[in-house]
A and B are shown apart, each in its own frame.
Chain A
């Protein structure tokens, strides 16, 4: 399967999963399950940065369309799309990742590196997302707790996704 097709399928799959499954699940008011940003995380390494940001914007606006939160998802997605190359640069060993796979995953980056990568970006995403959603830092501790809990939940979901869709090669 080509990388393009793979990403298109992932886009649709994650969007539907997020809207129709994860957003219907109410665990706790502090935990909201977000997985759709995985689309931005798993775009190919060599994608130029403007393309990365525009794709993230597309994903974010699609989510906004369903959730009636105009621009909130989009802002968070564009934010992590912009920061993604920096994080990859910091985490990559000298000379970059030498793998056959062109997309970030547990096998191409290594488990610990991938988890760090995912954790940082998901945290940043949730930081922007919930700050914009609440709009204001009135109840700062609550906001922080919500960000941390939701990030933990998202990382758990990402690990599950990875274990499901990537075979070890």
Chain B
């Protein structure tokens, strides 16, 4: 017995070493049934919290790339939306970018071909003002990417403005926030389908006025004001704003003046989508030639 104790004391270090190593190896082997050792993996509170903190920081540095990818994703989704296509008859000319619709029964007959009408380009806002009487945005997309003057620009939540001039890589957008008697957006109340014109009269960048809405219409506070689709610039039903309050201009007036809260927050605009209406030229030339006929 005495000898055994002496032996153990002499080789104490070695036995401790063996013990610890055996513990480690056992841990390695037991790693598979993870429930038993769940308190000692990265799911425990200390390391999980640290990892979480670290990830928060790391996530911040990747925000730029994340944003870019999300915007591209959005543009791609916009481009495959049904509303970006326009129905045509079958005997018409063949365009490459179309959606075919089939009948639902077993014959799967082609019942329609829809032609691409709107093409969206994502663009980064590089300069933006909201305080001037006429405000402009500069966006990082230009004629090299197919932008032309007089294209509609929409933001993530509503319309933004109209492309005014383009250089190879940049474009200047006339913001919705621009005072001017002849600068307005054709709009429609989504509840009563009544038409009107949205204009901005300076001041608060969060609000604009909708005019020319007849007195007969029943107005609802909070109703959405959307694009009418009559102008060739914007697709139909893009939000412009929400009815905040309304009043008659004066006693004898026949139309309401509606104060609307703009859907787009112009203070933190980061990305916009430029709407390319493929049929704009056709619509425009037809309309112009008709006017000339009447004159």
Contacts and interface: CB of A to CB of B under 8 A. Distances in A.
Interface of A: 19-20, 49-50, 53-54, 57, 60-61, 64-72, 74-75, 78-79, 82, 132
B24 A82 contact: no
A66 B41 CA distance: 6
B41 A49 contact: no
Interface in B205-234: none
Contact of A70 (B21, B41, B50): B41
Contact of A50 (B13, B23, B40): B13
A53 B26 contact: no
A70 B30 contact: yes
A71 B16 contact: no
B24 A49 contact: no
A57 B41 CA distance: 15
Interface residue SS majority, chain B: helix
B126 to A, nearest CB: 32
A135 to B, nearest CB: 8
A70 B30 CA distance: 8
A67 B31 contact: no
A53 B18 CA distance: 11
A71 B42 contact: no
9 contacts: A50-B12, A64-B40, A65-B46, A66-B47, A70-B31, A71-B26, A74-B23, A75-B21, A132-B25
A68 B51 CA distance: 13
Nearest to B12: A50
A69 B54 CA distance: 20
Contact of A75 (B13, B16, B24, B30): B24
Interface string B63-92: 000000000000000000000000000000
